[in-house]
Each structure stands twice: as structure tokens, then as C-alpha cells.
Chains A and B, each alone.
Chain A
Amino acid sequence: MFRRNSQKDEDLDRAGKAVLCAAAADEQEIVRAAESAFLFTRIRARIAEQLRENESGGWQSLPLIAWRAIPAMALVASITGGLMLWSGQSANAPGAVNTPVGFGMYEDALADTTNPGLEQTVLSRNNLSREEVFTIVVEHSEREQK
């Protein structure tokens, strides 16, 4: 039984070799291809084209650039996000110190415009009452109208 199988395999291998040989070109076709006119000129043109592509970088290199740039951009974005989160957390921390920014004012007062903190700070610094400030503003506008 083994002998019969191996005989069949040998027959199939011979048939396979015949198929592979049949798919090959004949000698005349090979010689015609090798002696084809302007073959070297076409090779020179192809080399020149490839050299040009290599020099200009070529559009084919774009996916490669993107492939390298995407992880770098993701890294930068994650670092930025991390820093933002970290700075937000440290500012809200219970022991966080409010930094002075000059003229006797603090960051809190400048950042929150809906909060009367800024107004209160200016008033308390110059010892002016709300009425005095109102009078100054009215007198100023009257002077401008005259």
C-alpha cells in the first residue's frame, strides 16, 4: 500500500515538474527579452526616476512620516494633558497658596470677574466708599460732557 502511494506521489511530482516547465518561457522568448531594444535606456530612466524620488523625499514617504509623527504627537498631547490635570489639582489643593500678582491684588481676584473680589480689593486698598467712587465717576462724565 505504501509502495502504491509513493508511486502515485512520484507520478504527481513528475506531473508537477511538467507543469512548472510548461509555465516557463522558451529559449527564443528569453533571448528576445534580453536583446530587446532600449532596455538599458529604460533601466537608466528608471534609475533616474528613483534618484529624483529619493532626493525629493517622494509622496510615498508621507505615510512613513505620519507613522512616526502620530506616536510623537500622542506623547506630546498626553504630557500636556497630564500637566494640565496636575496644575488644576495643585491649585485646588487645600493648602494651595494664592499668589500675589502686583498692586496688592491676588490671582483669585483677577481670574474671577463675576466675583466682587477685584472691586473689593481696589476699594479696600484706597479706603474709598462706594458713594465716593460713584461721585468720582459722575463728576468725571460731567467734565467730559462740558
Chain B
Amino acid sequence: MYPATEPTDDALVAVAAAGDEAAFEALFNRHRRQVARIAGRFFAQREQIEEIIQDAFTKLYFALHTYHGTHEASFKAWLAQITVNACYDQLRRIRRRSEQTLGEFTENETQQFSSQLRVPGSDVETALVSRDLALKLLTRLSAEDRLVLTLLDVEGFSVAEIAEMTNWSVSKVKVRAHRARAHLRRVLRKFV
């Protein structure tokens, strides 16, 4: 918690929107970890997370005048929405780039991955290998599938919260989640 003398997020947004750079920097310092944490759910490398932080705060700067906070947590929710959208855009870009080279698993990788999925709780070294294989496997999912599954299963957001973040309808989130889960099951069936 911030001391009572600290200006609220809404007050900082109002001043920053009027062109005060110090207020914008204060918002950045206050919320950069939150943005990094959301980005870290989608991207494993530090450079990728930094890219999302830069993208999200740049978008935030140009959208400051559109913000109308209604309650105390409004700004956090709004920033989360901007960050999730920045992650989604980046996932789509990566997906477009890797469309021709969808990660095919070698026989060795397939065996390794199968054994990792069967044995829960492996050591650090194997877990690092798992990340590479996991990333390779996730290139087979569309950006929408990856987004909705991560927000639902890893972040634990509700369907309504995801709908608000993505500007999708609740029914679209439900349908997308159902299809994404079915797709991931199909992909994993080869390994389990």
C-alpha cells in the first residue's frame, strides 16, 4: 500500500494526461511489475517482457485522455487490459513469423517431452528443457487459443474478466476456450 500522501492513480493519470512527464513516470514506477508479471505469463525471455512493457506504456500514454476511472482499481484493470492486448498483438506477430516453421518434434524430443509430462515435479535442468519444448509445442496454437487458455488456466481469470480485457463477448470467450482446450488436447494426445 502507498502512504496516504501519495497521489492516487486517477490523480496521476489526470496530471499525466495534461502533459506532466513526472506523473507518467510515477505511474510507470508504480505499475511496471504488474505489467511485467502479465507479460511473463506469455513470454519467457527477458527481452520479450521488456518489449511488452515498452509497448504497453507507450499505448497507455496515448490513451491517457480516454481513461475515466470509476473505482479505485479501475486503473489497474485498464492497464491489465492494455497489457493483455499488447501480448495478444505480439503473439499474433510471432505466430505469423513461425507459420511456415511449425515446431516439428524430433524422436528424441518426443520421448523427452512424453516422459516429462508423465512425471510431475522434475528437477531444474529438466524444467528448463521443458520450457523450450513447451514453447515449441505452443507454436501450434493460435494466438487467440494461447491467450484465452493462459488467462483462464494460468492466471485464473473468470470468463467475464477475460471478456472485459479482450473486448470479446462472454459467449465468444466460452466458445474460444472450449475450442482451444480441444485443440490443445489433440496436440498433447501424441505425447501422453
Q: Chain A: residues with CB nearer than 8 A to chain B?
A: 9, 11-13, 15-25, 29-34, 36, 39-40, 42-44, 46-47, 50
CB distance from A133 to the nearest CB of B (A): 81
Chain A, Cβ-Cβ closest to B43: A25
Which residues of B lie under 8 Å from residue A13 when comparing CB positions? 153, 181, 184-185
Q: How far is the CB of A10 from chain B (nearest CB, A)?
A: 10
* Interface residue? B154 (CB, 8 A): yes
Q: Which residue of A lies closest to B57 (CB)?
A: A43
As a 0/1 sequence over residues 21 to 44 of chain B, the CB contacts with chain A under 8 angstroms (1 = contact) are 100010011001101110111111
A-B contact pairs, 8 of them (CB 8 A): A24-B41, A24-B44, A25-B44, A25-B45, A34-B36, A43-B28, A46-B54, A47-B58
Q: A19-B188, A39-B53, A43-B61 are in contact. List 9 more A-B contacts (CB 8 A).
A: A15-B188, A15-B192, A17-B154, A19-B138, A24-B40, A33-B36, A34-B35, A40-B28, A43-B58
Answer yes or no: B71 CB below 8 A from chain A CBs. no
Check if B131 sits within 8 Å of A22, measured CB to CB.
yes
Bound complex: CA A21 to CA B131 (Å): 9
Tell me which residues across on chain B come within 8 A of A12, comparing CB atoms.
184-185, 188-189, 192
B138-165 interface mask toward A, CB cutoff 8 Å, 1 = contact, 0 = none? Answer: 1000000010011001100000000000
Distance in angstroms between the alpha carbons of A127 and B192 in the assembled complex: 111
Give the size of the chain B interface in residues (CB under 8 angstroms). Answer: 47
Q: Whole-angstrom distance between the alpha carbons of A22 and B191 in the complex?
A: 16
> Nearest residue in A to B21 (C-beta to C-beta)?
A44
Known contacts A11-B192, A39-B53: does B137 contact A19 (CB below 8 Å)? yes
Q: Which of B44, B146, B150 contacts A29 (CB 8 A)?
A: B44
Could you tell me the distance between the alpha carbons of A65 and B154 in the complex, rounded to whole angstroms? 43
Is A15 a contact partner of B61 (Cβ separation < 8 A)? no
Do A33 and B184 touch across chains, with their CB atoms under 8 A apart? Answer: no
Q: How far is the CA of A24 from the CA of B43 in the complex (A)?
A: 6
Most buried by B among A11, A19, A24: A19
With CB as the reference atom, state the residue of chain B lying closest to A28.
B46
Quick check: B154 and A21 within 8 Å, CB to CB?
Answer: yes
Q: Name the residue of chain B whose CB is nearest to the CB of A42.
A: B54
Q: Is the CB of B127 within 8 A of A22?
A: yes
Contact of B130 with A by CB under 8 A: yes
**Residues on A with beta carbons closer than 8 Å to the beta carbon of B130:** 22
- B44–A40 contact, CB under 8 A? no
Give chain B nearest CB distance to A27 CB in angstroms. Answer: 8
Contact B46–A36 (Cβ < 8 Å): yes
B10 contacts A by Cβ under 8 Å: no
Q: Give the docked Cα–Cα distance between A12 and B37 (Å).
A: 26
B62 within 8 A of A: yes
| Contact call B185/A33, Cβ cutoff below 8 A | no
- A69 → B minimal CB distance (Å): 27
Is the Cβ of A17 less than 8 Å from the Cβ of B39? no
- Which residues of chain A are within 8 angstroms of B134 by Cβ–Cβ distance? 19-20, 22-23
**Given A29-B44, A33-B40, A34-B32, A23 and B131 touching (CB < 8 A)?**
yes
Instruction: Answer yes or no: B49 CB below 8 A from chain A CBs.
Output: yes
Q: Flag if A31 contacts B184 (CB, 8 Å).
A: no
Q: Is the CB of B44 within 8 A of A33?
A: no
